[in-house]
Structure formats: C-alpha cells, structure tokens
C-alpha cells in the first residue's frame, strides 16, 4: 500500500491541532483570568480545524468536485457559508466586547464541518457499494467452484477427514484400509 505524502502531512497537521486544542482546555480550565476563560471557550476551534484538514485532504485526493459538480457545490457551498459565517461571528464576538455570538459562531463552524463530513461519509459508502473488486465470499450462481476454493463451500463443522467430499458422502480416496 502506497502512503500519500499529503495524507501524512494532513495527519501531522491534524495531530498538532488536536494537541493545541487539548492544551487550551487544560490551560484554560481554572478560568481565573480572562485569558484562561477565552482559551477554554475557543479550545474547540483547533479541533474543528483538525477535522477540516482531514476533510480537505480526502476531498483533494478523491477529486470529489469532478464526479458530480452540482451535488458537490450543493453540499460544500452551504457548508462553506456556514463555516465562514461562524468564523465571522466568533471574530465579531471577540472584537466587539460581549461574547454572546461566540457560541453561535462555533455552532455554525461545526455545522459547516459536519455537512462536509457527511458528504464524505456518503461518498465513501457509495464507493464501497459500487466497488468492482471481487469479494472473498461471492456467490457463484450455481457454477462450478474454482479449484482450491473448497474451503468456501464446506461448513465449519465438517471434520477434516479427506475421505468425504462436499456432500459429506464417503468416497473412494484411492487408499487401502
């Protein structure tokens, strides 16, 4: 299996963002100063950014915008609008003084990230269902079983006696008793 450099890079960035988010929670937990309260309030933003990095990497590697551009725009358009509206609300909340819009802004950010994530999950399921690769236990529609695949047609409770065939009847194995 080939590992994509973009996947490794996205994984490292996401890991750093998650560590930053955890550090913000632990550093802001006492909530004694306004800085600690702000860190605790904004600790989920690096987590959302980590999920967003993973979504962007998967979207880029799969070239999702090329498959069905209208559906992609129909999902990622509102997701982007919600994400940007959330960022604007958080910035306005922290620059104008009262932080009443901060929670609403963070909700919009997670809604945008969630919409994109659901689209990727549905795309992953669609890819699995339409995957043309042969499965190990595929139905052969009454055809002769391929050579060497008798382990697929024998039940688990068959004993390992080689003198029985698939029907369970004892046959002539060519050995003398």
pLDDT category of residue 70 using cuts at 50, 70 and 90: very high
The domain of 13 spans 5-129
Domain membership flag for residue 165: no
Quick check: is 20 in a domain?
yes
Average pLDDT over the chain, rounded to an integer: 82
Read off the pLDDT band of 3 (50, 70, 90).
confident
pLDDT digit string (tens) for 85-94?
Answer: 999 999 999 9
- Domain annotation covers residue 13: yes
Rounded distance between C-alpha atoms, residue 118 and residue 127, angstroms? 14
Tell me whether residue 174 is in a domain.
no
- Cβ-defined contacts of 8-11 (< 8 Å, 24+): 10/53, 10/54, 10/56, 10/57, 11/54
Q: What is the pLDDT of residue 143?
A: 57
Tell me which range, 38-47, 129-138, 140-149, 152-161, is most confidently predicted by mean pLDDT. Answer: 38-47
Is 78 contained in some domain? yes
State residue 100's pLDDT score: 81
Q: How many domains does the chain have?
A: 1
Q: Does residue 56 lie within any of the structural domains?
A: yes
> Does residue 105 fall inside a structural domain?
yes
Question: Per the confidence metrics, is the pTM higher than 0.85?
Answer: no
Determine the pLDDT at residue 177.
Answer: 46
160, part of any domain: no
Closest among 153, 134, 135 to 144, alpha carbons compared: 153
């Amino acid at each position: 299996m080939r590992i994509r450099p973009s996947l490794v890079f996205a994984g490292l960035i996401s890991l750093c963002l998650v560590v930053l988010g955890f550090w913000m929670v632990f550093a802001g937990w006492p909530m004694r100063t306004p800085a600690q309260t702000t860190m605790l309030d904004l600790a989920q933003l690096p987590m959302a950014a980590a999920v967003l990095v993973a979504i962007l990497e998967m979207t880029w590697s799969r070239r999702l915008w090329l498959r069905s551009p209208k559906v992609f725009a129909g999902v990622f358009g509102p997701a982007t609008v919600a994400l940007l509206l959330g960022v604007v609300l958080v910035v306005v909340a922290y620059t104008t003084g009262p932080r009443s819009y901060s929670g609403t802004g963070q909700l919009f950010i997670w809604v945008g990230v969630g919409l994109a994530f659901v689209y990727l999950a549905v795309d992953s399921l669609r890819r699995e269902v339409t995957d043309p690769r042969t499965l190990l236990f595929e139905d052969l529609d009454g055809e002769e079983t391929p050579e060497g695949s008798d382990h697929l047609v024998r039940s688990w409770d068959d004993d390992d006696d080689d003198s029985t065939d698939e029907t369970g009847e004892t046959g002539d194995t060519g050995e003398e008793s």
